Amino acid sequence: MGILGTFFKRAPGPGGADQDGGRHAPDTQPLEGSPPGRDAQGDAPEGANRAEVDTDALPERESVAAVLPVATHGERTSARALRQRVLGRRPILDGEQHLIGYELALRTHAPPEDNPALAQMYDDLLLRSLATLPLVRLAKGMRTWVSLSLASLDHPALRILPQEGITLVLRVLPGEEGEAVSHIGRLAAEGYAVALDDAPFDPGFVARCVHQLAFVRLDLGRRDALALDQRIRALGVRSTTPLVVQGVDTDDGFEACRNLAFQWFQGYYFAQRQPAKPARIDSERMRVIELLNKVASRADIKELEAQIKRDAALSYKLMRYINSPGCGLTQKVRSIGHALVALGYGPLYRWLTLLLFTSAQLDVRAQALLRDATVRGRLMETLGLQRLPPLEADGLFITGIFSLLDVLLNMPMEQALARISLPEPVAEALLKRQGPYASLLALAVACGSDDRERTEEYAAACLLDAETVNAAHVDAMIWAEELEG
């Protein structure tokens, strides 16, 4: 799908429908500043469209003594709020640093390995949340990983998830090896891609099922590079099964793991600044920034046309995008001036923000960063359009995109923004984490990070329930994938 055809469509509501026909959250603006310590209500608004899958009809699991931490602050929490938790995404990249997928996980502490009952309840909440989301559309473009314990493999919600594009990451504890071999063989026969998660199991167990495994995942957070190498040798899978490493949050960790023959890398190392390296502010990006400032000041179309024509690469990209099939124009645009008139200032500004990530020489790391920034911007825009006036909501997408500008340019945010004229609410959110966009920005950042402690509080600060946030989040990932395509 062409970038304009996707990029300039009206943002749908979190359920995937247009603003006038989709789910609606309470008609209240997000709160400014730090989120209050209050849970969002889990019940959907009266008259809202329901998800296609009724997870209430799923049979209840066995009772457990332990429960996941759900802060109620003395208030009664509904059954839906207990079952629905905010989902987060954990990126997966290949050795060339292309973003190829995400793992979807609850924004709460992972269950302890020595508590199977709590792990089973964690999986129950995860599967019930996933069952209401359009994972078929997401998995068509991106690999989607779901981590489960063996006890959850007979959960009825698992049968609702699509097989194509979904990887089940199995957590196998010592003593469960025999049962795991049987499960892995059955799941592989049913068409699932199965990965084995890091655990202190017997290497002989891996040899019994290695040919039915799609991946083996190890954890950099548990071992240093030397210990990881020793574990790979002990498992004997270096030449038979693709290796994935999670917890890669620094460039040093990425380089060390790449030297250990890992093929896939899970973590947010690519979204961190590199202080030891120079700023990435080349001449092409400077021209885009100059254009951004002129568009923001509503410069004359003829002036913008003249400047774009001086840049052959920029002219080509503009004409290619506006003539893409998904743009919806009935006539082919043959001139830069016609293209600018057809777009208008607002869409042109949004398009130029994306070019900041793509204008320099080929940089796959910047492409991964663009995908993450686009998800942030889309998530903020989708959630905010229901609670902010249209004129105020226009800056939400830009805020999400620019929230990673410091990483893209490899300089402090104050320096990065000093070159760009921004509306006050956008600058206030990015520099001070204050103003009408601050709470939504905090929520969007938390959904794509390991800030598990406060994600639920950020959602509550925006008066959003987990179901609404999850639907908007998956919609944003799908939208970003279609935009890239």
Q: Is the pTM of this model over 0.85?
A: no
pLDDT exceeds cutoff 80 at 78: no
pLDDT exceeds cutoff 80 at 251: yes
Q: What is the mean pLDDT of residues 385-403?
A: 87
∠ CA(130), CA(354), CA(247), 5° rounding?
45
pLDDT at 1: 36
Give the span between the Cα atoms of 42 and 469, in whole angstroms: 11
- Flag the least confident range among 73-82, 93-102, 116-125, 269-278: 73-82
Contacts of 195 (CB under 8 A, 6+ apart): 145, 167, 168, 169, 170, 213, 214, 215, 216, 217, 244
Confidence of residue 471 (pLDDT cuts 50, 70, 90): very high
Give the span between the Cα atoms of 169 and 193, in whole angstroms: 9
Q: Which of 443, 448, 450 is nearest to 429 (CA)?
A: 443
- Flag the least confident range among 40-49, 354-363, 454-463: 40-49
End-to-end CA distance of the chain: 6
pLDDT at 313: 83
Give the span between the Cα atoms of 416 and 419, in whole angstroms: 6
pLDDT exceeds cutoff 50 at 63: no
pLDDT at 10: 40
pLDDT at 359: 61
The alpha helices in 77-218, defined as continuous H runs, are 79-83, 116-130, 135-141, 177-189, 203-209
Instruction: List, for residues 231-246, the tens digit of each pLDDT value.
Output: 888 888 877 889 999 9
Confidence of residue 29 (pLDDT cuts 50, 70, 90): very low
What the block records as the tokens of 405 is 């500008």
Q: Residues of the chain with pLDDT > 70: what percent?
A: 78
Per the model's pLDDT, the better-predicted residue between 56 and 420 turns out to be: 420
How much is the mean pLDDT over the chain? 80
- Flag the least confident range among 340-344, 373-377, 386-390: 386-390
Give the span between the Cα atoms of 171 and 149, in whole angstroms: 5
pLDDT at 331: 76
- Flag the least confident range among 21-35, 131-145, 164-178, 391-405: 21-35
pLDDT at 85: 83
Question: Which residue shows structure tokens 């990983």?
Answer: 145
Per the model's pLDDT, the better-predicted residue between 392 and 224 turns out to be: 224
Contacts of 332 (CB under 8 A, 6+ apart): 323
Q: What is the mean pLDDT of residues 156-171?
A: 90
Confidence of residue 361 (pLDDT cuts 50, 70, 90): low
Give the span between the Cα atoms of 383 and 441, in whole angstroms: 11
Instruction: List, for residues 275-332, the tens digit of each pLDDT value.
Output: 889 998 888 889 899 999 999 999 999 999 999 998 888 888 888 777 766 566 677 8
Q: What is the mean pLDDT of residues 438-442?
A: 95
**What domains lie within the chain, and their CATH numbers?**
3-14+279-484 (1.10.3210), 55-271 (3.20.20.450)
pLDDT at 11: 47
Confidence of residue 452 (pLDDT cuts 50, 70, 90): low
E-strand ranges in 258-331 read 264-266
Q: What is the mean pLDDT of residues 242-262?
A: 92
Give the span between the Cα atoms of 234 and 263, in whole angstroms: 18
Q: What is the mean pLDDT of residues 440-467?
A: 86
Per the model's pLDDT, the better-predicted residue between 125 and 116 turns out to be: 125
pLDDT exceeds cutoff 90 at 28: no
Rg (CA), the chain: 23
∠ CA(253), CA(254), CA(260), 5° rounding?
90
pLDDT at 388: 84
pLDDT at 173: 86
pLDDT at 321: 72
Give the span between the Cα atoms of 430 and 437, in whole angstroms: 9
